[in-house]
A and B are shown apart, each in its own frame.
Chain A
Amino acid sequence: GENVEQHPSTLSVQEGDSAVIKCTYSDSASNYFPWYKQELGKRPQLIIDIRSNVGEKKDQRIAVTLNKTAKHFSLHITETQPEDSAVYFCAARNAVVQAAGNKLTFGGGTRVLVKP
């Protein structure tokens, strides 16, 4: 089955700096890669996603890049703010094969701390 590895497990940055989180996946058939943000005591929330026919996607201060050949994808947060402090999870899924259903395989998470 799919395996997703996420690095680093913790990341401390100064406010205004950039943060980068990297994930690798094992199943070359995976074609959908969402990122979730989970603040302390709250539910995971989808912040951005990318499909395998796209190499990069941006939404204001966040962006995701995908390298299908190397089977890795990354989350980039620019101009970090204290409210960006949270745990971030990457995930992967084969979104074409119906039998795969809606199962997401998650990375282990990255705890991001933005220091004011």
Chain B
Amino acid sequence: KAGVTQTPRYLIKTRGQQVTLSCSPISGHRSVSWYQQTPGQGLQFLFEYFSETQRNKGNFPGRFSGRQFSNSRSEMNVSTLELGDSALYLCASSLEQAVYGYTFGSGTRLTVV
């Protein structure tokens, strides 16, 4: 069974640009959550999607957005990139609502220069 797949693995962007990251959950998993991981802030929750609807949102500015498609694949977008957006972006999937435990993807390492 394939795990959670995130693409691309690495990305270098310039300040002011925008970026789109992709996450394909484990087959059958309908909930996808996104986290930002930085050395200083740890794992910070961005948002969660379930059945194409955003169910939860963390305390990030509106430049961070996401969506989920009917096949449960999810994308997150960051517009007007800032240097502080450099981080590892992790997505995690789980089977359905209120299910215990995530499976994380390997993440996308975003560097903003």
Question: Is B111 interfacial (CB 8 A cutoff)?
Answer: no
Minimum distance in angstroms from A95 CB to a CB of chain B: 5
**Chain A residue with Cβ nearest B97:** A98
Interface size class of B (residues with CB under 8 A): 20 to 34
Q: Known: A106-B43, A107-B42. Is A32-B100 also a contact (CB below 8 A)?
A: yes
What residues make up the interface of B, taking CB atoms closer than 8 Å to A?
31, 33, 35, 42-43, 45, 48, 50, 55-56, 58, 90, 94, 97-107
Q: Known: A102-B31, A102-B33, A103-B33. Is A43-B97 also a contact (CB below 8 A)?
A: no
Stretch in A44-52, A57-65, A70-78 touching the partner: A44-52
- Taking chain B's interface residues, is the majority helix, strand, or loop, or is none over half, making it mixed? strand
5 of the cross-chain contacts (CB-CB < 8 Å) are A42-B106, A46-B102, A100-B56, A103-B33, A106-B43
Residue pair A104, B45 in contact (C-beta under 8 Å): yes
**Chain A residue with Cβ nearest B45:** A103
Minimum distance in angstroms from A52 CB to a CB of chain B: 12
Residue pair A102, B98 in contact (C-beta under 8 Å): yes
Question: Is A105 interfacial (CB 8 A cutoff)?
Answer: yes
Query: What string of 1s and 0s marks CB contacts (under 8 Å) between A53-92 and chain B?
Result: 0000000000000000000000000000000000001000
Residue pair A105, B102 in contact (C-beta under 8 Å): no
